[in-house]
Structure 1
Amino acid sequence: MKPKTFIEKLGYFLRTLLFIIICTVFIFLTLWTFCYSLHAFYLFLITLIFATVSFFRKKNRKFITITLLSGIALFVLSTPYNLKQYNKNAAAFQDQINQGYHLHFKEKCAIYGTLLIITVGDIIPFPEASIQNFYLLFPKENKTRIFYSNDFLQAPDIKKMMHLKGKNSVAWDKWGERFNGNFRYAAAFDPCTLEITDEGNRKKAVLVTNFNYRKNYTTQNANHLLGGMFAFRIDEGLFWYLQHEGWLHPYNAVWIAKFEK
């Protein structure tokens, strides 16, 4: 295979992959905004109709890609308005649950989609929380999952406990840790236990947390950013409801790390 031919095929593959990703994101956002009854759904619907008509008129893939990206860009630019509507609808869902009413399938899908967005959005800033959220989507008979990583040893509060032996409790005020080095780990492990044991010439740290969402618990975020334009709420109570309905599956997360004495 000539280098030029390989490069051309690689370029075609990457462009195709990018097109599939853009289509997947666009379709997901269309369905999510529909389920959450956001006005942005109509923006996606109009864009989708235009892209579909362009496809049947034999427009090239580049034109359709730009069309879909334009719809996503307009959605992002209208974020302040979308967040206000999202916050209003999320509060209404929580009020229904608090009053003992059941949500419809569409509303459950909206909440499920929100968790998927959080899971993807957390991959870089909060990888441990993202991983744990991902496995929350799948049932496990013994309700225990084991992960291997030394990263959690970097949490300032855990560093202070690494010389201790035996099992000790670690409790953070998750949202109170936003401006320090504990926040990444508190987002995933609050609360947890940490057990340090000797293993030959090394030490073993075992962190255990019961990963689940709390009933009727809401946090307000970004309230002071640009006058609250990007304020949004995270309703753990909605995810708790999906746990109660069997859509999400809480479990004990066991994180194991080994380090030099």
Structure 2
Amino acid sequence: MTGPPHILVVDDDQEIGALLKEFLGMQGFMVTTVGDGAAMRKAVEAGRIDLVILDLMLPGEDGLSLCRFLRAATRLPVIMLTAMGGETDRVVGLEMGADDYLAKPFSTRELLARIKAVLRRVNDRGQPEGEAALAAPRDAAHRDVMHFAGWTLDSGRRQLRSQDGVLVEITGGEFDLLMAFLLNPQRVLNRDQLLDLTRGRVAGPLDRTIDVQVGRLRRKLEVDPKTPELIKTVRGGGYVLATEVRRP
């Protein structure tokens, strides 16, 4: 990334747009604000965007549809904003591919922390706050290639290939979670440790993001996601990658 990160705020509430433009601008970000999906698409096509803050409730095309478009057409990280703060809404947003989720009304400082955490994950910068004994995604060499159960992950290119060599698209959050498992194979990792390794503790005590991300990874990696053989659940403990990892 060259120059200050460019944040695109997609929200039809002009007061929120103006607030975020001023606040994030004071934090050193470039900020563009738009009020609907059509304007968002034009902004994405027109210039370099590093992260999208996307409201769920928008006139015309809603935030979930726009998030689905961003996941299919770009690799931009997405933080979803919404006045609907229930766990179901949060899970749906994450299922659509959002990297993080924040309910309105929100603290601008909390939003800033989440933006920094997402950008840090995307750019492999900084060190996690987790246990020193755990290998973290950002500890891996930028061109490390790992093989597991017939799958191949090129961490430098962020490319995941199946046993047949087919490229499988993964989001930034899925990549970081998979890296945490691959760097700590056959080791039980609880939710707090996985949050430390992938999100730098930017989460509440009831945050279920890890469970959602694990479910998404299973649907991409497992023959039968309902009876997983690669990423297994450990009752009362967390999750474990139950296979060996090889590096050429």
Q: TM-score, normalised by structure 1?
A: 0.27
Higher RCO structure, 1 or 2 (CA under 8 Å, sep 6+): 1
Larger radius of gyration: 1
Between structures 1 and 2, the one with greater helix share: 1
